[in-house]
């Protein structure tokens, strides 16, 4: 994966999703199987002085979405990616900067994801993401299913 793809995706998110720009989101880490997005506390604070739940949900969802998009682009696939459903758990407040890290859920594989995409022009995968508190324990978690739909398959199905 080239750094150019990573930086291009960060610019795209900040340009196309006004909320991401307001949150001051940054793509800070990508290792093929894991991706991290970060945002400072100040623009994402709530009335209690900790991270706003909506910001946590947005950062977690975007982290998973960005991981799927980068994997697809690295494989030369032109797909739209959608969140199909998700479950969010708030376990503890986040009092500092926010770092959401995403990866495939247990039992999922990129090989299976791409095999299904090759066979049907669409695929889905379950991903998990978490934001940890200052002690390193999960403070907010997300499990979500994302769908990838090949753009040519979408236009021919319409």
Q: Which residues pair with 149 in a beta bridge?
A: 80, 122
Residues 6+ apart with CB under 8 A from 60: 88, 100, 102, 129, 130, 131, 140, 141, 142
Distance between first and last Cα of the chain: 32
Domain chopping of the chain, boundaries: 3-157
> What does each of the 158 residues of the chain score in pLDDT, given as a tens digit?
578 888 999 999 999 999 999 999 999 999 889 999 999 999 999 999 999 999 999 999 999 999 999 999 999 999 999 999 999 999 999 999 999 999 999 999 999 999 999 999 999 999 999 999 989 999 999 999 999 999 975 555 54
Mean pLDDT in the chain?
A: 94
The pTM score is 0.93
pLDDT of residue 3: 82
pLDDT of residue 84: 97
pLDDT of residue 155: 52
Q: How far apart are CA 98 and CA 80, in angstroms?
A: 27
The CATH number of domain 3-157 is 3.40.50.720: no
């Amino acid at each position: 994966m080239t750094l150019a793809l990573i930086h291009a995706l960060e610019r795209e998110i900040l340009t196309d999703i006004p909320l991401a720009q307001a949150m001051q989101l940054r793509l800070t880490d990508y290792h093929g199987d894991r991706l991290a997005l970060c945002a400072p506390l100040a623009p994402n604070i709530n009335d209690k002085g900790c991270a706003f739940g909506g910001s946590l949900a947005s950062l977690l969802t975007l982290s998973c979405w960005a991981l799927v998009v980068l994997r697809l682009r690295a494989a030369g696939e032109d797909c739209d990616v959608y969140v199909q459903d998700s479950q969010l758990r708030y376990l503890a407040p986040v009092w500092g900067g926010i770092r959401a890290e995403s990866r495939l859920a247990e039992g999922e594989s990129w090989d299976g994801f791409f095999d299904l995409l090759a066979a049907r022009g669409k695929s889905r995968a379950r991903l998990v993401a978490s934001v940890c508190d200052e002690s390193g324990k999960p403070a907010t978690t997300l499990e979500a299913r994302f769908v990838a739909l090949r753009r040519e398959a979408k236009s021919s199905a319409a």
